[in-house]
Amino acid sequence: GGGGGRGSGQVVLVNELQRGNPVLECVRNVRWSYSKDIIPDYVVGRTSCILYLSVKYHRLHPEYISKRIDGLGKNYRLRVLLIHVDTDDCKIPLREINRIAVLGEMTILLAWSLDEAGRYIETLKAFEHRQPDIIKERVEDTYMARLSNSLTSIKSVNKTDVLTLSSNFGSFEGVSKATSNELSLCAGIGDLKAQRIFKAFHEPFIPEK
């Protein structure tokens, strides 16, 4: 079996076994081609591969997936088990699949439609060399977006309230100086919300012992 190296190009390699799988029609944003000499169902990167399983199929052939996992060997760092949830009655099979995957060192991705499954295949390939910026801490760009992001972290404060607060008190600092009573005088901010806002600004970070 030679997965490593072969998948490093721009193309998703697809195992001949997958011929006829309707999910292939949903892989549109990256190129793919069949390959005779790969063990996994899909090779989406130099060290990443996918095994594909539908819940219905698993219910008919519960032993199938374990065999496939055993056959993978140690060639891949990322081993995705892509599950197509194609039945509502999926609780018990998923319970098994979760266990098999944890023990078999597979990472499960669940897709509820062929489109979604195809999208995971595409994205795994497309993001192969991407830096993980999109899931790292980022900074919002505009002041209003940032302020909105801050103040809406207080329960029940919405965007309208953010505008009300910033226009009545001028700045974040202004809001921090407002009393609970002053806050409640703002249009649209009820007594309860005013108390919540006041508390968020004045509650000690570390509760006093």
Partner 1 sequence: MTALLPFQRRAVDALLDEDALCIVARGLGLRRVVAEFCRICATPQALVFLLNASDTEEQALQQQLMALRSGHADACTLRVIKNETNPAARAQLYRQGGLISVTSRILVVDLLNDIVPIELVTGLIVLDANRVTAESTEAFILRMMRSRNPQAFVKAVSESPESFTLGFAPLEKTLKALGLRHVQLWPRFHVLVQEDLACAKAPVAELRLPPTRAMIELQQAALDCVSATISELSSATKLLDPDAINVESSLFRYFDALVKRMLAPHWHRLNARVRGMVTDLAALRRVAELITAYDCVSLLKYLDTLLLATKSPTQAPPLWLASDSANILYSVARSRVFSRRTAAEASGDEANADQMRLLGLPGSIVPALEVPPKLLLLAKLLEEVGVANRTAIRQGRSSTSGPVLVMTGSARECQMIRTFLATAHKTVDLGPGGKHPKMMADLLRGFFRWKAHMNSGSGGTAGRGRSNNNGTNSGATSSPSVAAPPQPQSQAACRGAPAAKRRRVRGASAAGAKLPRAPADALEQETATLAAHIEIHADGSQSLSHTGLDDPHGLEGINPDDIDDGWLDAADEMPEFDEFYGILPASETVLVRPYSTSGDSDFLSLLQPTHIILYDPDPAFIRQVEMYQAQGHVLSQVYFMVYDNSIEEQRYLSAIRRERESFETLIRQNASLVIPISTASPVNALLLARRSQRTAVHIPMGTPTIVVDVREFYSPLPSLLHAAGFNVVPRTIAVGDYILHDHLCVERKSLPDLIQSLRSGRLFNQAESMIAHYSYAVLLIEFEMNTSFSLQAIGSLNPDIAVNSINSQLTMLVLTFPRLRIVWSSSPYETASIFTELKRDAAEPDIDRAVAMGQDDSSVEKESIYASHPIALLQSLLGVTLRNYQALANKFKSISDICAASKDDLVSVLGMEAAIKLYEFIRSSIN
Residues between 21 and 40 that touch partner 1 (CB under 8 A) = 28-29
Nearest approach in angstroms of CB 142 to partner 1 is 4
Of the pair 16, 140, the CB lying nearest partner 1 is at: 140
Compare residues 16 and 103 and give the one whose CB is closer to partner 1.
Answer: 103
Question: Which is nearest to 164 in space by CA: 139, 138, 186?
Answer: 186
Count of C-beta atoms within a 10 Å radius of residue 141: 8
Sheet holding 31-35, edge to edge: 31-35, 11-15, 42-43, 48-54, 78-84, 107-111
Q: Which of residues 133-152 bind partner 1 (CB under 8 A)?
A: 134-147, 149-151
Using rule CB under 8 A, residue 78 touches partner 1: yes
Q: Are 11 and 32 in contact (CB under 8 A)?
A: yes
- Spatial distance between the Cα atoms of 139 and 116, rounded to a whole number of angstroms: 29
Give me the 190-209 binding string for partner 1, x by CB under 8 A, dash otherwise.
Answer: xx--x----xxxxxxxxxxx
Number of residues that bind partner 1 (CB under 8 A): 97
List the beta strands (DSSP E) in 37-155. Answer: 42-43, 48-54, 78-84, 107-111
- 74 burial (CB, 10 Å; 0-12 / 13-18 / 19+) is exposed
Q: What is the smallest separation between the CB atom of 135 and partner 1, expressed in angstroms?
A: 5
Choice between 18 and 128, CB closer to partner 1: 128
Q: Is 164 in the site for partner 1 (CB under 8 A)?
A: yes
Residue 154 CB, nearest approach to partner 1 (Å): 6
Closest CA to 81 of 64, 3, 133, 5: 64
* 86 sits near partner 1 (criterion: CB under 8 A): no
Q: How far is the CB of 36 from partner 1 (least distance, A)?
A: 26
Stretch that binds partner 1, among 3-11, 31-39, 42-50, 55-63 (CB under 8 A): 42-50
Backbone angles phi, psi at 93, to 5 degrees: -60, -40
